Amino acid sequence: MDNNKAAFFEILNQYFSHIYVLTIERAKERHAVIEEELKGLNYHFFWGLDSNDFSVEDLIQKNVYSEELAKKNHRYSKPIRGGMLACSLGHKMIYEDTIKNNYDKILVLEDDVMVNKFNLDNFIKAIQEFPDDGDLLYFDYHKNEKKPLLGFLKQLAYHIQASLGFLNLTHKAISNLYTKRYSKNLLIAGYHDFTNAYLITLSGAKKLLPLQTPVQWFPDHLLHYACSNKLINAYCLKEKTFLQTSQTTQKEQSLITENA
């Protein structure tokens, strides 16, 4: 194993109360890949629900999932179905398990992550900068990562559309669309995609769980709704430490740089 990767995992092992890898039991091929990628990390597979093993109609009847609220919350009135519903349920189950076990800080990984190239010293400084009242920290994220030069025009257009009822976003969320500087190595989170790698505290889990009861959000939509509306105190690493394997096909990307 690369020495920097081993050092990175040792820091994570010491920092977190628990490390989850969300997966399903039949994903055997993914398990083999992730076991190799995360060798040295003290994680536990968390068995989520398999979309083959539940009925959407049954979840609706039991008030586990609200399709009505899901459509209301989605920008294009989409319901949550299949594997994505299973993913939403899995993340919710992790929040429940975190609260049940009173874990102070947890790391949530999905079963398709790989370690990204980054500077280990910067990561150490970043977690030292994470505030005591922080609820969530993105280790990977996508979209609205930096406000472009004319980003205010996009926000203005969104404000107008929202005022006319053509856009299902709050004005607060639109105002917090992009990341903002917090410290040298951390950004204040905005409206981002991805739930493949993130830190959540016990207080964060307690805030997110009611928002997903019954399940009504796509997993990443729950986070960007809570972040951009300032329902949780959320941050992003300036240097991402994980990627989804779908983002790259180059195995070399899984090694941390020696001297970035």
Beta bridge partners of 23: 47
User: DSSP class of residue 66?
Assistant: -
**Residues composing the chain:** 260
The rounded percent of the chain whose pLDDT value lies above 70 is: 94
The 10s digit of each residue's pLDDT in 223-256 is: 999 999 999 999 999 999 999 987 655 444 444 4
Cα-Cα-Cα-Cα dihedral sign, residues 1, 46, 92, 34: positive
For tokens 């536990």, the residue is 44
CB atoms within 10 A of CB 27: 17
| CA nearest neighbour of 88 among 73, 76, 106, 105 | 73
Q: What distance lies between CA 160 and its chain's CA centroid?
A: 29
| CA nearest neighbour of 89 among 209, 207, 198, 226 | 209
The phi, psi pair for 149, rounded to 5°, reads -55, -40
Residue 4: predicted pLDDT? 87
The 10s digit of each residue's pLDDT in 14-30 is: 999 999 999 999 999 99
The 10s digit of each residue's pLDDT in 156-196 is: 999 999 999 999 999 999 999 999 999 999 999 999 999 99
| CA nearest neighbour of 189 among 246, 134, 149, 150 | 134
For tokens 């959000």, the residue is 217
* CATH class of this structure's domain 3-144+179-254: alpha beta
User: DSSP class of residue 119?
Assistant: -
User: DSSP class of residue 52?
Assistant: G
CB atoms within 10 A of CB 74: 16
Kind of pairing, strands 136-138 and 242-244?
unpaired
Domain spans of the chain?
3-144+179-254, 148-176
- CB distance 108 to 125 below 8 Å: no
**Is 50 exceeded by the pLDDT of residue 200?**
yes
Residue 197: predicted pLDDT? 98
pTM for the whole structure: 0.93
- CB distance 104 to 17 below 8 Å: yes
